[in-house]
Structure 1
Amino acid sequence: TYIHTHAYACYCLRSKTDGSCTAACPYGWVKFDNRCFTYFASPLDWYSAEIYCVNLGANLASMHNENEYQMVKSLIRAHDPDENPAWIGLSGEDSQKDQQMLKFGWVWSDGTRFDFTRWNSNEPNYSNNGECCVNINWASGHKVCRLRYIHASISSDWLTALQGSKTDNS
């Protein structure tokens, strides 16, 4: 797999009202709220995709509300009309079997709180030992975007999110 890397320059857009500075997204990334998102159509396993993201100063994407979820769906459709599965930053303990504890066993790779999900029906199902990561998957025939718990070694495209920042430039 060949992945072309780019050098990014960050630009600061100074606010005329309060003198603060908000970083602009790198070229080709989509700004949403205070984050920048992009889609990589270069299949990798979950861990390799996360390492690639970290090397960009980002992480695999996390979603925390319905608006972010809808934006991620739109981003996938814009880059992949076939709507194939793509890695996101959610992972869990593969030894975690207690359904009551699931919410507490999930972590986003960017360190943010697990507070929003749209599981596919019958997920997470733990049908395959070693499942530990989540991809965003389109339910067959329904075009419904849902999350699926899957083994991390499977190669998929992936979504990356770069945390925006505000800097005081007074």
Structure 2
Amino acid sequence: MAAAARLALLLLLGCVGLLRPVGYCPPGWSYFYLSCLKYFSEPLSWDEAESRCEGFQEGAHLAWVENIHEAVTLRKVISYYQQVQPVWIGLQKNKER
């Protein structure tokens, strides 16, 4: 239960999943691999963080990694924010394994 309480204090890194041209991200958002990212500092559970992302725009969700280049870049972004608190990202189990 203590672990769940700690998880509820994690932060989210949101990703708008719609394809947008560079420079089209809303104010306060950063362009990242055909998506827009935003760091939110409010403590939320994973479910709350995902709902918050989904509430911004259709197709928005927590950030996820699809290749090694994205992983390296996203790791750099996350490590900057993790100096303050942990960060949520979206994960999905590979159904082929």
TM-score scaled by structure 2?
0.62
Rate the CA distance shift 1:53–1:46 in 2: closer, same or farther, 3 A. same
Is the counterpart of residue 90 in structure 1 residue 91 in structure 2?
Answer: yes
Please state whether the residue corresponding to 1:42 is helix, strand or coil: coil
Per the alignment, residue 67 of structure 1 pairs with 69
Kindly, what percent of the aligned residue pairs are identical? 33
Equivalent runs, 1:2-151 vs 2, <5 Å = 22=21, 24-57=24-57, 58-82=60-84, 84-92=85-93, 103-104=94-95
Instruction: Name the structure where strand makes up a greater proportion of residues.
Output: 1
- Aligned partners of 2:30 and 2:37 also within 8 Å: yes
Rate the CA distance shift 1:55–1:105 in 2: closer, same or farther, 3 A. farther
Instruction: Name the structure where helix makes up a greater proportion of residues.
Output: 2
For 1:54 and 1:43, the matched residues in 2 are separated by 17
- Aligned partners of 2:81 and 2:87 also within 8 Å: no
Larger Rg: 1
Per the alignment, residue 11 of structure 1 pairs with none
For 2:96 and 2:44, the matched residues in 1 are separated by 24
CA shift for structure 1 position 104: 0.6
**Over aligned residue pairs, what C-alpha RMSD do you find?**
2.5
CA shift for structure 1 position 42: 1.3
Runs of 4+ off more than 4 Å = none
1:31 alignment partner AA = Y
- Aligned partners of 1:39 and 1:76 also within 8 Å: no
For 1:45 and 1:30, the matched residues in 2 are separated by 23
Instruction: Give the number of equivalent residue pairs.
Output: 75
Structure 1: where are the runs of 5+ without partners? 1-20, 93-102, 107-170
Please state whether the residue corresponding to 1:31 is helix, strand or coil: strand
TM-score scaled by structure 1?
0.38
Please state whether the residue corresponding to 2:88 is helix, strand or coil: strand
